[in-house]
Every structure is written in C-alpha cells, then in structure tokens.
Structure 1
Amino acid sequence: MKNLNEYFGSNIRDKNIVVTGGTTGIGKATAELLVSLGAKVLIFGRDHEDFNAALEEITTNYPDAELYGAPADVTNEDDIKKILDIVDLEMGGIDILINNAALSAQGITDSDDWKYVIDTNIKGYIDFAQQAVSRMKSQKSGHIINVGSMSAEVRNPESTIYVTTKTAINGFTAALRKEINPFGIKVSLIEPGAVMSDMQPGTKEEQREKIEKMEMLDADDIAMSILYTLSQPKRCDIVSMQIRPLLQII
C-alpha cells in the first residue's frame, strides 16, 4: 500500500477541477479539500455573496491556492460561456468535473418554480458534462462525478420535483458512463442522505444537533467520499456510492 498522503493526492495534485455549486455545502467543502491537496479548482454559484465568502474563506485557509471562478447560474447561457472561458483561457482545460449545483423542491402541488429547478438540477448537469467531455476526449482521460441524492431511492411524496431530478441524474450517470467509457473517461454517482446545507429544513443549529445525533451528515463527509472516488487508480472505477447518516433509516 502506498503512503496514504500520496494515495489521496496523486490523482488530485495539479489537476484542473470544476465544481458546480462550489460556493456552499458539499461543493464548497469538496473544493476546499481538493485545493488543500494541490488541485487547481474553479468554483461558481449563482449567489454573489456566497461566491465572495467562499473565495475569501478558502484563500484565507490556503493562501497559495489556485482558485478560480465567478458568480454564475448553470441555467444561464452567458454565465456558462463565462465559466468555460475561464476553464479554457485561465486554467488551460479540465480534468475533473464535479456536478453539484442543485436546488431543493417540493411536490407539484406546492412548487411554482419547478421548471427552473428542472433546468438547474438536470439541464445544468447535462450542459456541463457535455462541455467537459468535449474537452476530455482528446486527452483520453477525465472523471465526471455527479452528486445525486438518496431521494432517488426514497421517493418522498413531499418532494416530488426534487425526486424527479435526482432520479434523472441516477439514470443519466449510468448511461453516460457507458457512452464515454471508451474515451477513457470515468463517470461516478455519489448519492448522499441528509447533509447539512441550505437545502435542508431547519436552522443551522438544528442541523448541527442532527449531526450530533447521527441523523445528518456533514458536508465534509461527502467531500471525503468524493476524494476517495477520485483517488482510485485508472483500473479501478467506482460507479456509485451511497452515504447515509447512521441513524437516518431509509
């Protein structure tokens, strides 16, 4: 067995990584972890304050970090072009895509903005995956991680729209892997249970209490799962991973 520092860092160091929805929650925790291992990371999110706060916190913790990004919305074509320009002109390409930008939603009887949620949670994933693959094909390597949700399995009736989007991501990931595997590109699905985030009901303090009770995960738990997935040798392909809080009975 290799030295663990080398094991977890060898596939990360100096890689160009894009994290959609990288300004809060799972995305931010993942970006900070990858930066700490020497990756060049691009983050973005639609909220300007969240973006600036994430940028400041990560660069404060890691002054030598190569961190890129801008406020951007995955449903906006001009914003997508802005992010891709940074990828191509400043970073010099993309090795890893972590599709994470998503919104919560209730059922069809309670949701008025469900079309925007669909565009964010499904179209946003497809758009960035397509752009990543177009850049990865020539290098015969790459890794796309789609962050899904256990909601695709639980199918809670109070969140029909969200369940629909995460079920779609489950199927999209499985088919995409078969499509682009011949190009040497890995595709993995990470499906968390309840994770502390802005998408969860309740205050931050209430969510921290759930973490203490082992009824909820911390965003760092998912970041570590993503790191483990990315750290495997080329011969080893983690297709899907489900991570649940110990006492969240699903």
Structure 2
Amino acid sequence: MTTLTGKTAVITGGGTGIGAGIARALAKEGVNVVLAGRRVEKLAAIESEINKADQGKALVVKTDVTSRDDVEELAKRAEDTFGQVDIFVNNAGHMLSSTVTAGQVDDWETMIDVNIKGVLFGINAVLPAMVERSSGHIVNVGSVAGLEVSKKSTVYSATKYAVRAITSGLEKELAQTGVRVTNIAPGMVDTDLTSSNDFGGRKKLETKDIAAAVVYALSQPDYVNVNEINVRPV
C-alpha cells in the first residue's frame, strides 16, 4: 500500500510513450487510471496490461483533447466509474514543424490546439471539483523546450513555454486551496516521437524515468507542492 493507493488519475495521451509509462507506474502504486486518447487500440493494449496485473484498475475513454466536449465527457466518465478524479495528467502533445520561416501554419495550429488548449480544457474539466473538496493534483507534462529555444523549435517551444506559464500561474491562483500543480519538463525521451533522432549517440531518457518524477511529485505530503521537475539526459 502507498499514499496513492485507491486514488484515480486521468492521463491524456495514455496509450503510448510517456503517457503509457506514467499509467503503468501509477497503476503499480495502486492508482486507478483512466487512459485518454484518440488511438483506441493503443489505449486498449495498456488497459489490458494494467488490468491483468491486478493492481490499479484501468479504463479507456476515447478523447480528442482539442474538443472541450470530449474532455468534459472524459472527466464525467472517470467520476462515474471511480467516484472522483484525484490526479489529472495533461500529457497529450504534438511536436511538429516548429520553425516560423517554414510557414507550416497547419502544424502550428495543431500544436497550439493540443499543447495549450488541450491542457486548459483538461484543467477546466476537473478543477472545480478539486477546489470544492480541497484536494487534487494537476500534472502538466511540459518539456525542456519550455525552458530554452533552439532554431528548430520556435513554435513548439512557445507552446511548452505556455504550459510552464499556465502551471506557474495556476499554482499561485490555487495557493491554500489544497490543490497542487506540477510541471514535469522532460528532455529527450526514447519514444516514437523521437525515434528519428539519434541524439548524437547519447542515451535518451526512458519513459519510466519521467514516470518516476511524476510519482515523486504526487507522493509528497499534502502540505508540499513540487512546482517543477526538469528531467534531462546526462
């Protein structure tokens, strides 16, 4: 038994990569996990894996985080199934063509819709209930690209700077409410998203490394708010 046992977490982008890693780690802590995303077959594979392990329970809810209605329904399904949402992990994200000079406006719009609006929709769907009961934890998965900008990351970095700003401002808005907020900023992680980048021969982070940071932030005493964790490769 851990301090997280019996709690419920919603994880967007929960079918692959970092999201799946977080889901596995939380389920091992006895957390019931609601896996949200668009690719149901990927989500279902993680759901089956978790339920077979018989620790935390898993539920799949098909969700497009750019749709406010979808995200509201996601929160409702989680509440109807498990009673309440204790943890909301805004993990879904897109990293597409990010140079302004490339002029790929469609890519920019997708990143803004998923990386910024999706985060805000997720927060909005669960925050009122968290504030009402004076407990809850929102985890936003940002990026080290939200700390610094490369010549190829301008627009993507802008969206992740926004996630960091939202997290920082929200933490101040929620002071003394009992609701906590954490920004997790990973460096290069070995996922499908980064498979084409050999990272100069360096070892990439593993999804379990990011999941461990999430578990750490969530496991602190209720008077401790871990505002930000940056996780970088050596």
Mark yes or no: TM-score above 0.5. yes
Amino acid at match of 1:243: V
Instruction: Tell me the residue number matched to 1:74.
Output: 65
Determine whether 1:140 maps to 2:141: no
TM-score (norm 1): 0.86
2: distance between equivalents of 1:199 and 1:119?
18
RMSD of equivalent CA atoms: 1.9
- Given that residues 146 and 169 in structure 1 are in contact (C-alpha distance below 8 angstroms), is that contact kept between their aligned partners in structure 2? yes
CA contact (8 A) 1:103 1:117 kept: yes
- Residue 141 of structure 1 deviates from its aligned partner by 1.1
- In the alignment, structure 1 residue 231 sits paired with structure 2 residue 223: no
CA distance in 2 between counterparts of 1:85 and 1:239 reads 27
Match of 1:91 among 82, 86, 108: 82
**Cα distance between partner residues in 2 of 1:234 and 1:65:** 21
1:165 maps to 2:159: yes
Aligned to 1:101: 92
- Match for residue 32 of structure 2? 40
Out of 43, 48, 64, which is 1:51 matched to? 43
> Structure 2, unaligned stretches of length 5 or more?
none
3-state SS in 2 of match to 1:42:
strand
Q: Tell me the distance in 2 between the aligned counterparts of 1:50 and 1:21.
A: 10
Give yes or no for the alignment of 1:244 onto 2:195: no
Instruction: Name the residue aligned to 1:198.
Output: 192
SS in 2 for 1:129: helix
Retained in 1: the 8 A contact 2:72–2:125?
no
Question: Kindly, what percent of the aligned residue pairs are identical?
Answer: 33
Superposed CA offset, 1:114-154 (max 9, x none): 21221110011111112221110111111111111001222
Match of residue 113 from structure 1? 107
Q: Judge conservation of contact 1:69–1:86 (CA < 8 Å) in 2.
A: no
Match of 1:23 among 6, 15, 22: 15
Query: Which amino acid is 1:56 matched to?
Result: S
8 Å contact 1:105–1:160 — kept in the other structure?
Answer: no
Contact 2:146 2:161 in 1 (8 A): yes
Three-state SS of the structure 1 residue aligned to 2:20 is helix
Paired with 1:131 and 1:195, the residues of 2 have a C-alpha distance of 28
Runs of 5+ unmatched residues, structure 1: 1-5
Task: Please state whether the residue corresponding to 2:6 is helix, strand or coil.
Answer: coil
SS in 2 for 1:68: strand
For the residues of structure 2 that align with 1:157 and 1:49, how far apart are their CA atoms? 36
Partner residue, 1:180: 174
Q: C-alpha separation between the residues in 1 aligned to 2:226 and 2:153? A: 28
TM-score (norm 2): 0.92
Q: Please state how far the C-alpha of 1:162 moved relative to its aligned partner.
A: 0.9
- Return structure 1 stretches of 4+ with deviation > 4 angstroms: none
Aligned residues: 231
Partner of 1:3: none
**Structure 1 residues 81 and 235: CA distance shift in structure 2, 3 A:** closer
Q: Distance in 2 between matches of 1:180 and 1:149?
A: 23
